[in-house]
Structure formats: structure tokens, C-alpha cells
């Protein structure tokens, strides 16, 4: 058995090292959109917030409108599959950890701000489907983390009888930790990921892991 029967797992920076593919695709998308690509440091600071492609673009190009942002997102999504295939890897130990958690009776759900089809493609490519019971990812009609409506509108309908104490949100950015706080559930910070360390520490997560395998210590009874 596990201390948390329902584990919500972020994807980028928590299960998969996607940053090289993301940075490459962002730079290509800025160029395709007619803008000079920002430095990697600037992009990493935006990625650390854990938002969406649109919020990232509009933060860097504040004078842009929704049409500009939409074009940027389309360019990015056209570039990303190739970069993802060539550069993304799972963090060490992911499959064995998922297997152990599943064996302890945990229900594992991916909860990501990444574009839903992209998350599904990546899960399929890495063969994670055997351990994952559901995928909740970014879709235009739904809010995204840290909005607590992600919990009420998307997570809760899957587990209508579950108590808040049964959930653990595992993620690497302030968006994940703030979502957990907003939703009244426990949080676990994946310190090895893409988030800003100081921002995440300031949010006082309930748990911290420095490697994927450390999650087994967090959930053990």
C-alpha cells in the first residue's frame, strides 16, 4: 500500500527531461514567427514558471496579441515532434518507480500543462501506458495549473469519492506546487527538474525529491 493512493505526476521536468527539445523548438518557433529568438537563460526562466506556450510567448513579446501567440504556438507544435524524438529522455529510474508504485496499488495520473496530443505521443513512445491510468493535459477549453479548477473540473470527476488527503501532486515548478496548495492536496517538489529552486522552496512543499527514485520514500507507509 501507499500513503497516497492517487499520485498526480507532472511530465516535463518530472518524468522526462524535455528541456533540450523545448528550448530548440522555442527558438525555431520564434524565428518562424519573425522574432529574434531569446537566449536560453531567458527561456529557462519562463519555463521555470510552468505555464503554457501562449503565456510564455506573451511574457517575452508583451506587445503581441492572441493571433500572434496562436501563430507562435502552431510553429512550435510543428517543430516539437522531431526535437522530442531526437532529444527527450526519461529520467533515470522512471519505469521502475512507476512499476513499484503501481504494484503498491497507487493510481497514477499524468497532470501536465503540455499540449495533450504531445503528452500522449511521448507516453506511447516511451511505453508508459501500462502504468498510467489517465492523462490530463493542456486543451484549449480547459484551465491549466495552477488554477484550482483543474482539480474541480478535471481531476475530481475521475475520483468523486476520494478524500483530498489521498492525493499527491508531484512536479518540478511553482505551477505544480501552487496548484496543490490551491487544491488543498499534498505537494512533492521534484528539485531535479526545470523549476526555480527559490520559488519552489518559498512555496514550502510537503515533500522534496532530488531523484525520481526518492518518490518511493515519500509514498511509503
pLDDT mean over 23-38 = 94
pLDDT mean over 157-170 = 97
Q: Which CATH class, in words, describes the domain spanning 6-17+90-219?
A: alpha beta
136-173 burial by CB neighbour count: b if 16+ within 10 A, else e?
Answer: bbbeeeeebbbbbebbeebbbeeeeeeeeebbbbbbbb
Q: Tell me the fold of 19-87.
A: DNA polymerase; domain 1 (1.10.150)
Q: Is 63 exposed, middle or buried (0-12, 13-18, 19+ CB in 10 A)?
A: exposed
- The per-residue pLDDT for range 113-150, each reduced to its tens digit, is 999 999 999 999 999 999 999 999 999 899 999 999 99
- Could you tell me where the DSSP H helices lie in the chain? 19-32, 40-47, 53-60, 66-87, 94-103, 116-126, 149, 174-183, 197-202, 215-219
> What residue has cell string 519505469?
95
Categorise residue 50: left if φ over 0, alpha if ψ from -120 to 50, beta otherwise: left
Cis ω for the linkage preceding 146 (within 30 of 0): yes
Per-residue pLDDT for 27 more than 90?
Answer: yes
Share of the chain above pLDDT 90, in %: 95
Write the CA distances from 32 to 26, 41, 47, integer angstroms.
Answer: 10, 20, 20
120/122 Cα distance (integer angstroms): 5
Compute the Cα dihedral for 196, 202, 205, 206 and give only its sign.
positive
Spans of all domains in the chain: 6-17+90-219, 19-87
pTM over 0.75: yes
Amino acid at each position: 500500500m501507499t500513503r497516497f493512493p492517487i499520485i498526480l505526476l507532472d511530465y516535463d521536468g518530472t518524468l522526462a527531461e524535455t528541456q533540450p527539445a523545448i528550448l530548440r523548438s522555442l527558438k525555431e518557433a520564434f524565428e518562424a514567427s519573425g522574432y529574434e529568438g531569446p537566449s536560453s537563460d531567458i527561456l529557462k526562466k519562463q519555463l521555470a514558471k510552468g505555464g503554457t506556450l501562449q503565456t510564455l510567448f506573451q511574457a517575452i513579446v508583451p506587445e503581441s496579441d492572441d493571433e500572434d501567440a496562436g501563430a507562435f504556438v502552431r510553429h512550435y507544435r510543428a517543430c516539437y515532434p522531431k526535437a522530442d524524438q531526437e532529444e527527450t529522455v526519461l529520467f533515470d529510474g522512471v519505469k521502475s518507480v512507476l512499476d513499484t508504485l503501481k504494484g503498491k496499488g497507487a493510481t497514477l495520473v499524468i497532470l501536465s500543462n503540455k499540449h495533450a496530443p504531445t503528452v500522449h505521443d511521448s507516453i506511447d513512445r516511451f511505453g508508459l501506458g501500462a502504468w498510467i491510468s489517465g492523462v490530463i493535459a493542456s486543451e484549449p477549453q480547459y484551465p491549466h495549473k495552477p488554477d484550482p479548477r483543474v482539480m474541480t473540473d478535471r481531476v475530481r470527476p475521475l475520483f468523486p469519492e476520494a478524500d483530498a488527503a489521498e492525493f499527491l501532486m508531484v512536479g518540478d515548478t511553482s505551477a505544480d506546487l501552487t496548484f496543490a496548495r490551491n487544491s488543498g492536496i499534498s505537494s512533492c517538489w521534484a528539485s531535479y527538474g526545470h523549476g526555480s529552486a527559490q520559488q519552489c522552496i518559498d512555496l514550502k512543499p510537503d515533500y522534496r525529491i532530488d531523484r525520481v527514485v526518492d518518490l518511493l520514500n515519500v509514498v511509503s507507509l
